[in-house]
Amino acid sequence: MAEQEQMSYGTFEATLERSKKLEQDLQQNPAKYKVLTGDRPTGRLHIGHLFGSIQNRVRLHKMGVPTFIVIADYQVLTDRDTFENIADNIQQLTIDYLAAGMDLTDGKTFVFPHSHVPELNQLLLPFLTLVTNAELDRNPTVKEEILASGQKRINAGMYTYPVHQAADILFCKGTVVPVGKDQLPHLELTRTIARRFNDRFAKNKPVFPEPQPLLSQAPIILGLDGSQKMSKSRNNTIMLSTDEDETAQLIKKAKTDSERTITYDPDNRPEVANLLLLISLATGRKPEEIAAEIGDAGSGLLKKVLTESLNEYLRPLRARRKELEQNMDYVRDVLRSGVAAARAEA
């Protein structure tokens, strides 16, 4: 690209400040915005998703912000060789959204697999002409994901999927995207594509807005092994669909450390701090207070408190999940309605 472009959102601190102002305006003028968010259907959701992103979506939903939730099924092929179980995974994700408290029949919030919206996918080729190979190659998030995938042969989809994400966001003219800090490069590329498209094809009447990041304030949830972020691929999760007995067994195996006294010290005792954080998220209490109460009783009591707190917190969600699993026709109707709404929006 000949034009000289800078990171239009500047430093992270400046982006964070703008995100705070955006949050304030969302609360006052929810109908003014359109949120685009979503997940890849690689499996069911876990508590890291719940505390990390789903609760924020429910909050925006209850504020009345129009929201499109894309299930990015095509993007599964970027690091997997098969579409096996995708249809079931899409339905299970939808059940998780509904069970978490989202009303997907209110006419404001829609969920859909993007493979079912041809108008969205037709944007991919023109969008690819608006970016250079070098821009795709130097995306830091893509580099990290390629390393994490462990693939010996990297397909082109790993490099181009951020452009597909831009299509996910811009097809409905999304104006707000909830993201973590690590996803900012993807959103910046989307903003660049919107700007270049308007400059090249629609100078007098811009087609696409430049979406704004709504930065997540959610803490990072480590897996039960205490080593890395909770992830389905690392088998260190508690799924929302896991029952209470299995939850107890998983927590029993959670990694702590050799010190008996329980303290909240994320830097030096990340495994213990992570379990305290989960109790805090489930109860609304401060992790420091919880640690002080457990004290010298050690990791046994810590895990007992976590098991009881988490099972109590998830009980209503799990009950709704069971009801929804008995009414799959309703779940499929929700998806069909979401696809129809997405195509109408496109």
User: For position 278, what pLDDT does the model report?
Assistant: 97
What is the band of 82 on the pLDDT scale with cuts at 50, 70, 90? low
Q: Answer yes or no: is pLDDT of 4 > 60.
A: no
Instruction: Answer whether residue 6 is part of any domain.
Output: no
Which of 316, 337, 343 is closest to 111 using CA atoms?
337
Distance CA 69, CA 35 (A): 8
Confidence of residue 3 (pLDDT cuts 50, 70, 90): very low
> Based on the domain organization, do 200 and 148 belong to the same domain?
yes
Q: 53 with 191, same domain? A: yes
Q: Is residue 5 in some structural domain?
A: no
pLDDT, mean of residues 326-345: 98
Radius of gyration of the chain (CA): 21
Alpha carbon of 190 to those of 174, 223, 290: distances in Å? 11, 30, 42
Residue 33 near residue 64, CB atoms below 8 Å:
no
pLDDT at 146: 76
Report the CATH number that the domain containing residue 303 is assigned in CATH: 1.10.240.10
Same-domain check for residues 272 and 144? no
Q: Which two tokens stand for residue 133?
A: 């190979």
Which distant-in-sequence residues (6+ apart) come within 8 Å of 92 by Cβ?
41, 43, 44, 241
Furthest-apart CA atoms within the chain: distance in Å: 69
Q: Is 94 contained in some domain? A: yes
pLDDT at position 9, please?
53
Distance between CA atoms of residues 59 and 217, nearest Å? 13
Same domain, 241 and 333: no
The CATH number covering residue 54 comes to 3.40.50.620
pLDDT digits (tens, 9 = 90+) for 22-80: 999 999 999 999 999 999 998 899 999 999 999 999 999 999 999 999 999 999 888 77
**What is the distance between the alpha carbons of residues 159 and 145, in angstroms, rounded to a whole number?**
10
- Split into its structural domains, the chain has a count of 2
Is the same domain home to 333 and 195? yes
Give how far Cα 118 sits from Cα of 69, 336, 337, 341, Å: 16, 14, 16, 13
Percent of the chain with pLDDT over 70: 96
Task: Kindly indicate the confidence band of residue 227, based on its pLDDT and cuts at 50, 70 and 90.
Answer: confident
Query: How many angstroms separate the Cα of 11 from the Cα of each of 95, 184, 189, 211?
Result: 38, 11, 15, 17
Considering the domain architecture, whether residues 245 and 317 belong to the same structural domain is answered as yes
pLDDT confidence of 243, banded at 50, 70, 90?
very high
pLDDT at residue 340 greater than cutoff 70: yes
Which residues lie across from 111 on neighbouring strands? 69
When pLDDT is averaged across residues 104-112 and rounded to a whole number, the result is 94
Q: Which domain holds residue 314?
A: 232-325
Residue 227 domain-assigned (yes or no): no
Instruction: Give residue 182's pLDDT.
Output: 83
Residue 213 sits in the same domain as residue 254? no
Q: CB within 8 A of 123, min separation 6: which ones?
A: 166, 167, 170, 171
Nearest to 209 by CA among 343, 8, 15: 8
Q: How far is Cα 205 from Cα 224, in angstroms, rounded to an integer?
A: 51
Whether residues 54 and 168 share a domain: the answer is yes
Q: How confident is the model at residue 277 (pLDDT cuts 50, 70, 90)?
A: very high
One domain, residues 135 and 58: yes
Q: Reduced to 3 states, what is the DSSP secondary structure of residue 109?
A: strand
∠ CA 106-107-112 to the nearest 5 degrees? 100
1 vs 144, higher pLDDT = 144
Residue 2 lies in a domain: no
Mean of the per-residue pLDDT values of the chain: 92
Task: Clarify whether residues 161 and 192 are in a common domain.
Answer: yes
Res 145: pLDDT:
77
Element (H, E) at 71: strand 67-71
Domain match, 185 and 159 both: yes
